[in-house]
Amino acid sequence: MLKETCYFSHDCNARNDEKIIAVRMRYGAEGYGIYFMIIERLLESANYMSVKDYNVVAFDLRVDAKKVKEIVEDFGLFEFSEDKKHFFSSSLNNRVYQLDEMRKKLSKSGKREAKTKQGISDIEATLKPPLSLPQTLNESKEKEIKVNENKDYHTNKKEKIPEQIVIPKAFEPIWEEWKAYRKAARIKSYAGSKWEQIAVNRLIELSKGDEEQARKIVNNSISNGWTGLFKLKSENNDEKRYSEAGNYENKVKRIAKADTAKIIRELARNAEMGNLL
């Protein structure tokens, strides 16, 4: 059953939520898309709940049913009804509830406004010819919503609280060590939590989520006095250089040995010919 809801709030940094990061690490951008398509399906469903039939959901989204099942069940993003036959999103329900409440208030306000306008129109009709009023009730509602959104925007702008950095637990001491090094080296700090989060995500990406690899990357940058984090060079290059150096050393030894033998043979011939002093 299609709901009247035509939009819902979506945090601009939803991709950095710890649970969403876990989905992205396993399925990449595809997992992120599947999650929000499931949310859209819930928004269109009765009571914002979906029957736990992953094959039907997968057919609608044109994706693998196994991926749908794991995204719904493995990451704590959804909850289930008592009979375990339906699933829903508490976060979505909270947002839609707030939106429905706002619509009810706007509806009541619109009805009062319509009655007031009708009364004014009746009075004006007795004084002068009817005026053309192109503005519809929906347009009036939209303007009222925009005014409220602008008020909320300016209020939130004044009371904005710094965003918290989302980072896996195992990476926290590694990241603190990196920040301590930057501070000690007097490297300019990150220009806000947004840029620090980008750097954290880069470390996770370079290390492929591996704690030990992340520590090597940080230690490598610190030992080289670098200001950023970079992918580790392959150890095979070092082994190749060592191998080439060893081959060169053996070649020098063979040449020296050959020259020594040549000198000895020359001395022996001179001795036979009596040319030695």
The number of domains in the chain is 3
Q: Do 64 and 127 have their domain in common? A: yes
- Which residues on adjacent β-strands are paired with residue 51? 86
Please tell me the distance from the alpha carbon of residue 208 to that of residue 196, in angstroms, as a whole number: 18
User: 31: how many CB neighbours lie within 10 A of its CB?
Assistant: 19
- Structure confidence by residue, pLDDT tens digits, 44-74: 998 899 999 999 999 999 999 999 999 999 9
Q: Both 105 and 27 in a single domain? A: yes
The list of the chain residues with pLDDT below 70 reads 1-9, 115, 119-162, 235-253, 255-259, 270-272, 274-277
Tell which residue, 174, 252, 257, 253, has the closest CA to residue 216: 174
Q: What is the pLDDT of residues 13-34, one digit of tens each?
A: 888 999 999 999 999 999 999 9
Predicted confidence at residue 154, as pLDDT, reads: 56
Q: Are residues 15 and 118 in the same domain?
A: yes
- Tell me: do 216 and 255 sit in the same domain: no
**74, 182: one domain:** no
Range of the domain at 52: 1-133
Residues 115 and 4 in one domain: yes
The confidence score (pLDDT) of residue 264 equals 73
Q: Among 74, 107, 133, which residue terminates a domain?
A: 133
- The pLDDT assigned to 14 comes to 84
User: What pLDDT was estimated at residue 36?
Assistant: 94
| pLDDT the model gives residue 96 | 83
Q: Are residues 106 and 68 in the same domain?
A: yes
19 and 121 belong to one structural domain: yes
Q: Are residues 115 and 16 in the same domain?
A: yes
* Statement to judge: residues 17 and 118 lie in one domain: yes
Token pair 């940080």 is at which residue?
218
Q: How many CA atoms lie within 13 A of 235 on its CB side?
A: 1
